[in-house]
Structures are given as structure tokens and as C-alpha cells.
Amino acid sequence: PKGRHGFLTFLNYAGGSFIYVRVKFAERLKLLSSSWAIATKKEAAVAEGEEGAEGEGAASDEHSGEVQQVDAKVPKKQKTGGGWNFGKSKKGSESGSKEQNESGASSGGKSFQNTTVPTTYQEMFMFNAAVMGFGGSAWMNEVLASFDTIVTNVANSYRLQEECDVLSLRIAKYKGAVNLNEYKAVMLASLRSLIKDWGSQHEVSWSWLWENVSRMIQALRGKPAVQEKKLAKFFCSLDEDGLGFIRREVYAKFFALAPAGQEFFKQSTTRLHWITDKVVAMTLDIYKQPNKMVEDISALGLRHVGYGIPTELFGPFVTAWVQVIRMLTEDDGAEEAFRWSLSLISRILTRVINEGSTIVMKAINANSGKMLKKAVGCSARGKRALWMLNVQVGTHSISPLMWAIETGSLDAAKAIIVDLLTIRADRDRYYYGMDTIFERHPDIIKRLCLDAPALLPTLLDGLIWRSRTTESGQRRVNYYIQHLLIDGHGEFAKNTEWITNYNNPKLVC
């Protein structure tokens, strides 16, 4: 009876806490999401995107019967305006995107000479920071660069913690005082200017958000610099015997913890040793160059999506590494520095793999054309081509089609090409992925000649449309050879040259 009573008490407490959190914070999260969409003009961007999706592909010509092309281009980075920049530190300027620097080149250093009225959060923040006397706080650029990710992932505690950890590393590179309350003051002033129906609930919600972010950042204040020094000192103390010990023991312990991991480490010994050396370098580089390393880790994670690596193996891999490092040093600070950095790297990799593991990529890993057809069958006609040509995570992207070709998943690659070059239609327009595939991969002919020549006839056959009806014993045929002859710049394309160099008369004829 006592055990039953205790268990019921625990369930009542847990259930009550869930209800309390839902009632207390659900409204705040909704308010943060809606007000952030207004401040960043995301509502207008979404509306424009929907109109663009509806307008993809021109309407069919009833008289000529010509097939129209879908204008489904791979999205490019949008330049966000920023006429006001603050902070004379070079490091601070590096945190902003290249596009922002270019767009603000004509107005940088002319804060109030720029007559453009700020309409987005970023523009308003830069303006208010200059007006409120925080123009020299270059570290605010780092927070500003991460703030969109922070707000959009406020309900995801793991993602929020990851972003705050990376932000702490970036802020640690700035010398001088860092007062996080200054950012809060500028943030609230900017949001009040942009949100028309600003009220007390907005004030409470945004203050609550920044208090949580500030607490996470403050927990790491001063630690990254100390940990970097200790970790660098430890690695410098390792001789060749120590590195050799790491290379041997890491895999032995990892395979003991996760035997399934052996299926993914079938490379040569030299390659396995290179991986261990790379891990050692990455754990230290993330302290030294956090911005660059996050980009590199994201790119690495996308490659792991193509490899089909289960995310469950990252935990045992980190544990094995920490156990080996513990055997080589008695310095708890160096061990903690290594554990924290490797844990952060594994969290970033896990997130990128989870976000990039689309049903299309899973079908490619299985090399199943049937699975791929089922996967893309869930997409809208206007977005169908992008599902098979672009997987975007952050600023990095991977092409499922190109990955299928490179990894030898030719059944899946063939299914993608056939699907892209199949003409579809609804009541308003036709959909045909010819333009999209050549815009995403201008060298698709060359890549097929080198890596998958068996798919060349499939691609070329897809550029031909044959009418299903005959007139006077003849059938109409359209040949879409524009991209074979002319490239995107209006010059002669090299496709004919690549096909000629392939030296296959049957293919040419």
C-alpha cells in the first residue's frame, strides 16, 4: 500500500507539473512566436512564398500545347538589410554575414545619415543600439546573429542550450566587459517599436526569454578561455606514444560499448587513425574558431546523413573518448574541457542528422526506387523537385540526387531523374523539372558520364515529349535541348563536349 501510495503521489506531482507548465508557458510561447514573426517580417515572407508556390510554372498555352517549365529554383540566401552596424572590432564584424556587410557597405559608419526607416528587428536593433550609446558593444553582433535561432527554438530546450553554448564560445572571444542586460534593453526597445499591439504580456514574455538565455550564457562566462588553455596544454603534452594509445583504445572501447558501431568503421587503419586525429583537432578548434567549426560540423553532419549513421551511436562514441582521455591525464579541468567540447560537437551532429534525414534521403540510403516514389508522393507538385534536389540545414545543403550518384545508389538516382522529368499538370499549369535540375546541377551531364553512365539515356529520354495522339499517321514530338546547348549565362554549354569526350557513338546517335 505504501509503495502504491508513493507511486500515485509521484504521478500526481508529475502530471500537475506538466499541466502547470502548459498553462503558464504555452501562452508565452505563442506570444513570442507571433510577435517575432511580425518583428522579422516573416508573415509577409511566408505569404509571398505561398504565392510563389502557387505561381510556379506558367499557365499552359491552349493554342500551342507547349509544355511550360516550373520556376522552382533552389532557394538562395536572402540578403537582410542592415544600414547601421556597430562595433569597430574586426571580430565583431566577422560574426555578421557577408551579405549584411555588403549591403551595409554604403551606409556603414553613417548611422544617422541613412534615411531608411528600420522595418525589421535587425535594422531596428542596430539603430537603437547606436542611439542608446552601445555602438561600441561589438559582442552584440554575435547575439544578434543567433537571436532568430534562439527565439524560434525557445520551446526546444536541447536546441536552445546548444545555441547558447555556441554563443558563449563566440562571446568569449571578445575582450572587455560584456553586460547582457544591455542587449535586453535594446531588444525590448526595438520590439516595442515594431509590434503595434505591444502590451504587458509581451514585456513579461520577452523578459522571461532573455532571462533564460542570459542564465545559460552566464553559467559559462569565463570558462571557455580557461578550458581552451587546459585542453591545449594537455594535447601539447602528448607524444607519439600517447596519440597511438588514443588511436587504438578509442575504437576498442567504442566497439565494446556499441558493437553495432563496427558496421560503420570498416575503413583502413590509416583512415581510422585520421578520424581520431581529426576529432582531437576539432575539440580544440571549436574553442579557437567557434564560427568556422559550427559550419564545418554542420557540413560533416550532412555527409553523415548520406552515410545513414544512427544518432544513437554518438553517445557511446563520446563516452569511449572520455574514458580514454581519463586514462591519460589526472587534470580534471582538461578532461572536463574535452568532454564538454566533444559533447557539444556530438549534439550539433545529432541535430543536423535528424534535421537532414528526410524520407528521400532514407530511400536513397536503402537504394530503393519504390521507397523514393512513395516519399516524394507526399510533396506538393510545386515543391516536389526541391525535395529531390536540396536538403538544407542552416547554411549548408546537400543534393539527394548527387548523393545518390556519388554513393552508387543508382536505382534511387534513376527514380529521381524519371520523377523530375515527368510532366505533371493540374487545372492551372504544367510542372516539369528540366529547368530545376540543370539550374541545381549545371554539370549533371559530366557527373553522369564519370560516375553513372547508365543513367545518361534515362536523362536524355526525359528531355523528349511524345504526344499520345496521332494526326495523319504522325505523332508530335518535342525535344527540350536548350540546356544541352546553352548554359545559364547564355554561353555555349559544355554538355556536347562532355558527351563527345565520353566516346559512345550509340549514345550520340
Read out DSSP for 473-489? TEEEEEE--HHHHB-TT
How much is the pLDDT for 102?
A: 39
How much is the pLDDT for 398?
A: 85
How much is the pLDDT for 64?
A: 35
Residues of the chain below pLDDT 70: 43-115, 509
The residue whose grid cell reads 533564460 is: 212
How buried is 470 (Cβ within 10 angstroms: 0-12 exposed, 13-18 middle, 19+ buried)? Answer: exposed
Parallel/antiparallel/unpaired status of strands 430-431 and 424-425 = antiparallel
How much is the pLDDT for 286?
A: 94
C-alpha–C-alpha distance, residues 478 and 472, integer Å: 18
How much is the pLDDT for 328?
A: 92
How much is the pLDDT for 471?
A: 87
| Residue 388: all three cell numbers together | 529531390
How much is the pLDDT for 43?
A: 59
pTM above 0.85, yes or no: no
Residue 47: half-sphere exposure toward Cβ, Cα within 13 Å? 6
How much is the pLDDT for 44?
A: 53
C-alpha–C-alpha distance, residues 327 and 345, integer Å: 22
What Cα–Cα distance (Å) separates residue 166 from each residue in 159, 170, 344? 11, 6, 8
How much is the pLDDT for 7?
A: 86
The residues near 297 (Cβ < 8 Å, ≥ 6 apart) are 282, 286, 345, 348, 349, 352
